[in-house]
Every structure is written in C-alpha cells, then in structure tokens.
Structure 1
Amino acid sequence: MTLRDEIRRRYMAQPLVRRTHVVSSVALVTINLAGALIVFGLIAFVIPLPVEIQNSWLTANLLLILALTIPTLIYGFACMLLLNRPVLRWVRARRAPTDAEKLWLLAIPRWTLVYHAIGWLLAVGIFAGFNGARYTTDVALIIAQVVALAGVSASALAYLVSERLLRGFASVALRTGVPERMRVQTVVTRTMFAWGLGTAAPVAGLVLVGNRLLTDDTGAEVRPVARTIVILAAIAFFVGGVMIVLAARATSDPVRQLRLALAQVERGDLGATLPVYDATEIGLLQSGFNEMAEGLRERERMRDLFDRHVGGDVARAALRGGVQLGGEARYGGILFADVIGSTALATEREPADVVALLNRFFEIVIDVVHAHGGWINKFEGDAALAVWGIPLPVDDLEAHILAAARELGARLQEELPEVPAGIGVAAGEMVAGNVGVAERYEYTVIGDPVTEASRLSEVAKKFPGRVVANAVLLDAAGDEATHWEHKNAVRARGRQAETAIAVTRASEDLP
C-alpha cells in the first residue's frame, strides 16, 4: 500500500463530521496560502515596481510569507472550528437543528468571508509596513494594493467554497423547514462574488499597471509592460470564465432540479421533493416547492377521503359549488343491502372475524355499485345504502340499478355465503342535500323510496335469490327486465299499501 492509499484509508476511517471539518479547514487555508504565493509571483515577475527587484527583496518577502504560514494555519483552523462547532453539535447528536442553528449554518459562508477579509487586511498592513520600511512608500503602496486585490479574490472564493461544502448539511437541516428569520442572499450577490474573484481583481491589476506607467517619470520598457498586460488579461479571461461558469452552475443546477420536479408533479406524481440547500432566493423556491407538493398531497388525501365518504359525484359537485345546507327534490334510485342474522354472526364469531367478514361484504357491495354507476351514501352498521341519479342524473337508471342488484345478489351467494344479505331496490322522488350544520354536515337522501328499499330488503330474505325490487322499475328497464319476474304484491313492515314486487328469475318462493 502506497503512502497516498494509507492516508486516504485513515482519512475515510474518520467520522463524517471530523472529515467535513478537516476538508473545510484545509480547503480554506489552502486558498489563503495560494493567494499569498500568487501575490508574491505577481509582484516579483508581473507588476513593475518603482525599484529594481533584487534577490534580497525576494528572499525577505518569501521568508515573511513562510513566517506567516503557521499563524495563518492556526487562524484558519480556529475560525473554522468556531464556525463549524454549532453545526457539528447537532450532527453528532443526530437530532434536528433548531431555527437558531439553521440560521447559523446558513450564515457560515458570510462569516467565512468576514474572517478572510480580516486576515487579508492584516496581511495588507504587514506587507505594506515591511516593504515600506525597507524601500519606499511607493513600493509599499503598490504591494498593499496587490495584496488587497488578492484578498478580495481569496475571500470571494472562500465564500463560494464554504457554501458548496456546507450544501449537504444545509439540505439535512432545512429538510424540516426554513427558519422564519432567514436572511436570504441574492443570486446577484453570488454572481458578484464570482465576478470579483475572476474578473474584477485581474482588471484592477491592469489599472494598477496603467497608473504606474502614468506616474513613472523614468519611463518603462515595452517588454515587461506587455508581459504584465498579457498575463493579467489571460488570468481575467480564464479564471473569470471558470468562476462565472461555477456561479452559473450553482444557480442552474437547483433550477434544473426544480424543473424536473415540476414535470414530475405535472405527470401526477405528487411524491416529488427537492433537497433544500441554497441560501439564496433559490433555497426559498426549493422550500416553497416542497410545501406546495405537501399541500397537494394533503389535498389529494382529503379528496380521496371525501370521495370515499360521499362518493365521487357528490365530492366533485361540492368542490364546484361549495357547501350549502338544504336539499332539493330529485328523482333517484335506492339499493339497500342488509346482512341477515347479524346478531347471531356477532355472538358466534370472534370480533376480528366479524369485522373481516363485514369488510369483505362492503367490498363486494362497493365494487358492484360503482361498476353500475351508483355511489355509496352510507354504511349503517351491517347495511349499505347506495344511490343512483343523485346528485347527477344517470341514463337508464332503472336498468343500471336492477342489474347491480342482480349481480350483487349472485356475487354475495357465490363469494360470501357465510354472510347472507337481503337486497331491496326502489326508485322515486326524494329529497337530497346537505343536512347538519356548517361545521359538520352530511350529504344524504331522505324520502319514501329510501324507506321502501329498506323494507323490501327484509322481504328479500324470504326468496332464494334474496333480491327484491319494486316491480314498477321493470317498465323502464329495457332488456334488463327479462332477467326478472313479477311476484304477488306484498305489504312490507310499516307500510299501509301493498307493493308490487319482482325478483330475479332464478329465485322461487320458499316453502
């Protein structure tokens, strides 16, 4: 194993939080040391000075840079430890951060910029004072200007790097919501940092060179000046392009993710979520999208629950027109299915078995009713009330409701013989609407057809097919009427007049 592999193995064996602290500290300290070396190279070989560069000057300034290395390392690691400690605290505890900790996390790039700027201001004073004491004030001024420009670039780069390194922590921290007092940075700020790093500093160097030539009474050689202009222009062209691309990617990547997530929602997939990691307005967009998606999921759950309680037609009508208490007279059909011997069923079986059987019974009822254009108005213990033609009209209502009753009777006897049920069918004018109060209401149907269907379900228990319908429905049922036969009129419980009934042709009166 090579030394490089050994170092990598030991690094990966460290805890994640420690690795993150090491990466951020090393990255930012490296930026500053690289900036110092770039300053040395520019002054020594690019920007003309009002004194002749001698080996002694180079040696003295290089030794000064080396002497500042250890303090720079200590300052950098101390700053990063101070900034990262609140973040590492909640990460180590494996808990959600508080709003204050979220705000601190998002402020780390700004504080990183401030600490770097302070360090470079100190460097401006140290190098200017050192060279002013050894040479002239003009030399000290030029060196101070170059160091300041390098400090602007290094501080801007530190901001961008810190923001990038903390993106993973930000996505975890903001997963539970964006803090209310979040101070949002703009995309313009990020872009200006990239511009200052890649373009403004080299161009400012060209300005310094031009100012130096304008104030130089001794004249300047063409070749050194040309070399200086070419190098600074190349830096502005290359570094400026790279940094603008990085800043653009920092904006375009989350925007592309947002576009893909929106397309996912448009396709009907409401499970789309975005990681929230950006401290600019884009972060608010990411958080806003997640809140919107959660609201859509909640709305879909409510709509599904609404549909299950009142039926799709009623739910859509309510969503279109709002909730209005009261009712109206409408023509509709009623199917009432009532379990026979539910008391015995409850006493002879375990409660869990009873619930399972009733659930299976209701499952078959719902399947058949929906297949024939009806909807379930309510479950009443061991009975179900289904409605046709209300609130929306149904073509060939009589044929649909009779076909549903016939199929339901056959399926219950075939698939669930241990839960016999009587099925009654009736139709006519009834009142349909919302009853209750504004805070708690129910859409229901009230009228003689409802009572009649319930009573006919009791009569149905006397026939093998256990399905009985008001015979009047056959007159408008078309071909469906051929599956039914008339029986003698009966007087159902609680009704004064006899009702003409019909049963499915396969059924006969019991002895």
Structure 2
Amino acid sequence: MQPTPTSIACDSLTNRKDWSFAERHGLLLVGISPIVANLIGSAFNILYNQQQIWPILTEAQRERFDLCWQLFNLFVYPVAVACWAAPLIWLRNIHRAMLRGEQVDQVALSAAQRTVINLPWWILIVAGVSWLVCIPVFPAALATVPGKLSPAVVWNLVTSFVTASLIAITHSFFAVELVSQRTLYPVFFQQTSPAHVPGAVPLNITARGILWALSAVVSPIVSLVLLLVVPDASHQTPGFGIAVGLVAIAFGLTTAWMLGKLVAVPVRQLKDASLRVSEGDLDVRVNLQRADDFGPLIDGFNGMVEGLQERERLQETFGRHVGQEAARQILQQGEGLVGNEQEITVMFVDVRNFTEHSSKHSPQEVVAALNIFFRGAVETIENHGGMVNKFLGDGFMALFGIGVQPTNHALQAVTAAQQLFCCLGDVTSELELAGWPGLQIGVGINTGPAIVGSIGSPKRQEYTAIGDTVNVASRVESLTKILGHRLLITGNTKNLLPAETPCLPLPPQAVKGKGVPVQVFGIAEE
C-alpha cells in the first residue's frame, strides 16, 4: 500500500516555497532521463542490424525478424516502462507533500529516501533485463524458421545487443543518478543528509570507475573483438568497425562529462571551500547532497567548519570576559596552572565617588553609566597594547607587556592613561544623560616583575598577575586622591619612559607593605 502524508511530525521537513522548476517536476525529469541513452542504443542496434544482419538473412528469416521485434516492442517495452515508472508513481504523493511543506510520516519518508537513492540501480535492472533478454529471444525466434540458421547471424545478434545494451544501461544509470541528485535530493533531504540512509546502496567511487570503464572502454572493445570473429557476409565490417570506434569515442566523452559532474564537481567545491576556510572564511559550506562516498566527506567537512566557527565564537565570547590577549595566552598555554615571571606594567583605574553615586541611583543606572566609560576605556587599553585583566566594580586593572613580542609597555601604559581622560571627555554628554555628570577617575601605574598566568585551583582558574608590582600599582592609584594628581606613576615606570617625557617629581610616599617610601611622579593628563 502506498504511504500517504500524515500529521506525524518529521524533523526533515521545512516549508520551502521557492522550489525551482526542476525540483517541482523532479519525478518527471528522472523518469525521462534514461530515454536518450536507450534511444541511441536502439539506433545503434537498428543500424547494426541493417548493415550486418539483414544481408545474411533469408527472406523467411527477415519476416520472422520483423515480427519478432514488433512483438517485442509491443509487449516487453511497455512492461519495462511500467516497471521503471512504478517507484516514481509510488513517490508522487510524498513528493507533493514535501513540496508543500506538509508533515510526513517518518517511516514513509525513510522508505521514500531509500527509494530515491536506489533509483539508478532500479533503472540498471529494468534496462539490463529488457536489453539482455533480446539475446536469447531473437536467435530462438529465427531458429524456428525452416532452414539452417547461420552462426554468423547469432554472432552478429550477440554483438549488436551487447554493444547497444552496454551503451544504454550504463548511461541510463549515470543519467538517473545525476538528475536525481539535482532534482529529488533537495526535496527529499531538506534537513537530513542522504549519506546515512538505512538500506540505501549508493555507488561508491571504485564501482563508478568500473561502470565508466564498461561504458567507455569495455563496450567498444568487446564490439570490435566480436566484429573480428564474425564472418563478414556483406564485406562492410571494416567501415562499420570505424563507426563503432566513433560511437565509442562519443560515448566515452559523454560518460566522462557525466562522471565529471558526479565526481569532479564535489572535489572542486571541497577544494574551493578549503581554500576559503584557510583564508579565515568560516561561513562557507559545501551545499551538495550526496549519498555516495562524497556524502560523509561533505558532511564531515561542513561539521568541521561548524566546529571551527563555534570555537571562534567561544573564543570571542571568552575574550570579551577575560580580554582577547588573555584568551590567546590561555589557549596557547593549554590546561593546567601555569605562571611565569615577567616584567610588566600594571595600571589601576578607579572611578571617583562611586559609593556616593551608588547610594543615590538604582543599580541599573549605575551599571549603565559605568558601561559608557568602560566601553571606550577597554578599546583604548587594547589599542595601546594592553589588556583589561579584571573589572573591580568601580574600576579595573590593566596589564601591559603581556605576550612574546617585546614592547615599551611603560610608555604604552602612560599613553593609554592619558587617552582615557580624553575618552572620558568625549562621553560627557552620554554620562549626563545616564545621570552621572562629571564622572572622574584616578589612575596609578607601576612597572616591575610579576607572576603572570593561570592561577587558582584545577576547577576554577583565573588568568591574572600577582606580586609586589601589582600591589604597589594599586597603592599608587589610591595616592591620586591624596596628592591631587589624577595620573601617577612610580619611579620604575618613569625610568622606562623617553627622557623628554614631562614628569612632575612628587615627594616619596609611604605605602602599605613597603619598608621604604615609593618615588612617584605626576603626569599631565593630556
């Protein structure tokens, strides 16, 4: 019984309304796709019979031969056409439902998908039986005519039907496969891949090469060999041998073209897609639906690109939380707790009057105002080679000099700090609208050795810097409130700046945790 569309959900369906003409009439196009190959095979057979067989038949045998092919065409070919059309008719209702975007029973859909993939084998069976049954039928029919049947007639009949059948059968297979992939696969495999359909028997690359050889090589060679051993009653074998060779060349080129469509196209698309991926384009996909060896390869390639895209997305998301440079460092060092001593420059930035402002505004308003400042601050830090390592509620800590490339990280940090004040002025109007007019900051910078890397427990780690250099930078930032300078640096940082950098010496300051006062300098904010 033919399955019909039902209301059972099927994950393979989508409601597409932009089907092409070929996709809407795919069953018809697949149905007529073997016609050309069989007509040409029949034309070759008729020409061969006229040139090689007809002259060596008796009058009675000619009459029997005419009656035989007429009856054969009247009964056998209609049966063959009906057999070929049967699965296409069976697929019609499901095909229409898929075009309309209706939900189809999963069992019926799986059976239809399996049938679509196996259609080339079905035409191979139908056409093969139809053609090869001629070999015993015609000699048997001629043998019933009174008189002796010449062995040359039998040899010529075998040559005629073998050559014509090889031409028709192999090209019918390739034609059905090619048209099915273009017209039926997009409809029946809208959300699923045809590469893993249970019960389907797609032609692999090795078998495809063998079938091509049968069509383009074995068929003409067998024909020519048979011509050599057949007695030539009409003395036309040399000329007809040339004709066979020309037919072989023509069909060899035709087969090569179809084989190129089936093999070269996916190879070329995979190559082009690989080049685009190597250039950083992770949006590329190979949009070919194949059930043969290329199916898993294409699925694997697309899955690989999706994985790379997901990894890039995760890295980008990860980078937004820990900083892009920190993300790169973490990925490079791999898993585990790793910390290395490096000379870096540490910057602490603090937002003034945060507690007072927070007590008068809602948390949403406070966060909105802070994000206005942080948006430009992070971009400024990263543009100057630094990384915002952590946000501290009302401020942040930034690190300069992280990475393998040597840089003047002290100068980068001071330049970035000066630019922060410029950025703060650029967003004055936005801050006023957000309810925090006159937002001010203080910046403290120190340079020295620190342990940089992933620190924490095996279950929870943080990429950061620790050490006396970090502590001093934090203390120097606190001094900005006391000394009345919004941008302070230590002597260690000043020693790495160009000599012409204007620095205002300030009295050494005692800071918590240091036995001796720390030399600090004020830097102009612009």
Specify the alignment match of 2:434 in structure 1: none
Cα distance in structure 1, aligned partners of 2:363 and 2:122: 65
Q: Cα gap change, 1:17/1:431 in structure 2, threshold over 3 Å: closer, same or farther? A: closer
Specify the alignment match of 2:48 in structure 1: 42
Q: In structure 2, which of residues 236, 241, 252 is the aligned counterpart of residue 240 of structure 1?
A: 252
Amino acid in the other structure paired with 1:358: L
Root-mean-square deviation (CA), in Å?
A: 4.0
Q: In structure 2, which of residues 342, 350, 361 is the aligned counterpart of residue 338 of structure 1?
A: 350
Give 3-state SS (helix, strand or coil) of 2:176's partner: helix
Alignment of 1:23-422 (within 5 A): 23-29=29-35, 31-32=37-38, 35-47=41-53, 51-52=57-58, 56-57=63-64, 59-68=66-75, 69-82=77-90, 90=98, 92-93=100-101, 105-124=116-135, 126-127=137-138, 129-134=140-145, 143=157, 146-168=160-182, 169-170=184-185, 173=189, 176-177=192-193, 178-179=195-196, 185-213=203-231, 220-222=233-235, 224-343=236-355, 354-390=366-402, 392=404, 394-416=406-428, 418=437, 419-422=439-442
Q: Cα gap change, 1:162/1:438 in structure 2, threshold over 3 Å: closer, same or farther? A: farther
Specify the alignment match of 2:504 in structure 1: 485
Give me the TM-score of the superposition, normalised by structure 2.
0.77
Amino acid in the other structure paired with 2:464: T
Cα distance in structure 2, aligned partners of 1:257 and 1:472: 58
Amino acid in the other structure paired with 2:218: A
Cα distance in structure 1, aligned partners of 2:369 and 2:202: 58
> 1:409 touches 1:423 (CA, 8 Å); kept in 2?
no
Give 3-state SS (helix, strand or coil) of 2:34's partner: helix
Q: Cα gap change, 1:75/1:420 in structure 2, threshold over 3 Å: closer, same or farther? A: same
Give 3-state SS (helix, strand or coil) of 1:478's partner: coil
Which protein, 1 or 2, shows the higher relative CO under an 8 Å CA cutoff with sep ≥ 6?
2
More helix, by proportion = 1
Amino acid in the other structure paired with 2:345: G
Specify the alignment match of 1:436 in structure 2: 456
Q: Cα gap change, 1:17/1:269 in structure 2, threshold over 3 Å: closer, same or farther? A: closer
Q: Cα gap change, 1:189/1:494 in structure 2, threshold over 3 Å: closer, same or farther? A: same
Give 3-state SS (helix, strand or coil) of 1:335's partner: strand
Cα distance in structure 1, aligned partners of 2:213 and 2:388: 66
Identity %: 23
Q: Report how far residue 307 of structure 1 moved.
A: 4.2
Give me the TM-score of the superposition, normalised by structure 1.
0.79
Cα distance in structure 2, aligned partners of 1:144 and 1:221: 17
Q: Report how far residue 273 of structure 1 moved.
A: 1.9
Q: Which structure 1 segments of 5+ residues have no match?
A: 1-11, 214-218
Q: Report how far residue 294 of structure 1 moved.
A: 2.6
Specify the alignment match of 1:476 in structure 2: 496
Q: Cα gap change, 1:95/1:108 in structure 2, threshold over 3 Å: closer, same or farther? A: farther
Q: Cα gap change, 1:74/1:345 in structure 2, threshold over 3 Å: closer, same or farther? A: farther
> 1:265 touches 1:272 (CA, 8 Å); kept in 2?
yes
> 1:338 touches 1:422 (CA, 8 Å); kept in 2?
yes
Q: Cα gap change, 1:398/1:33 in structure 2, threshold over 3 Å: closer, same or farther? A: closer
Q: Report how far residue 111 of structure 1 moved.
A: 3.4
Give 3-state SS (helix, strand or coil) of 1:402's partner: helix
Q: Cα gap change, 1:233/1:32 in structure 2, threshold over 3 Å: closer, same or farther? A: closer
Give 3-state SS (helix, strand or coil) of 2:305's partner: helix
Q: Cα gap change, 1:475/1:44 in structure 2, threshold over 3 Å: closer, same or farther? A: closer
Cα distance in structure 2, aligned partners of 1:99 and 1:441: 49
Per-residue CA deviations over 1:269-312 (Å, capped at 9, x if unaligned) read 23222123344434444333323333333333344445444445
Q: Report how far residue 170 of structure 1 moved.
A: 3.9
Specify the alignment match of 1:501 in structure 2: 520
Cα distance in structure 2, aligned partners of 1:250 and 1:421: 67
Q: In structure 2, which of residues 13, 20, 28 is the aligned counterpart of residue 22 of structure 1?
A: 28
> 2:346 touches 2:400 (CA, 8 Å); kept in 1?
yes
Q: Which structure 2 segments of 5+ residues have no match?
A: 1-17, 432-436
**Alignment size in residue pairs:** 489
Q: Cα gap change, 1:361/1:37 in structure 2, threshold over 3 Å: closer, same or farther? A: same
> 1:128 touches 1:141 (CA, 8 Å); kept in 2?
no
Specify the alignment match of 1:216 in structure 2: none
Cα distance in structure 2, aligned partners of 1:352 and 1:450: 31
Cα distance in structure 2, aligned partners of 1:30 and 1:127: 24
Q: Report how far residue 434 of structure 1 moved.
A: 1.5
> 2:389 touches 2:399 (CA, 8 Å); kept in 1?
yes
1:446 lines up with 2:466 in the alignment: yes
Cα distance in structure 2, aligned partners of 1:480 and 1:403: 14
Q: Structure 1 stretch 80-89 or stretch 396-405: which is displaced more?
A: 80-89
Cα distance in structure 2, aligned partners of 1:413 and 1:471: 28
Per-residue CA deviations over 1:160-195 (Å, capped at 9, x if unaligned) read 011111223446738755428786633342233233
Amino acid in the other structure paired with 1:77: A
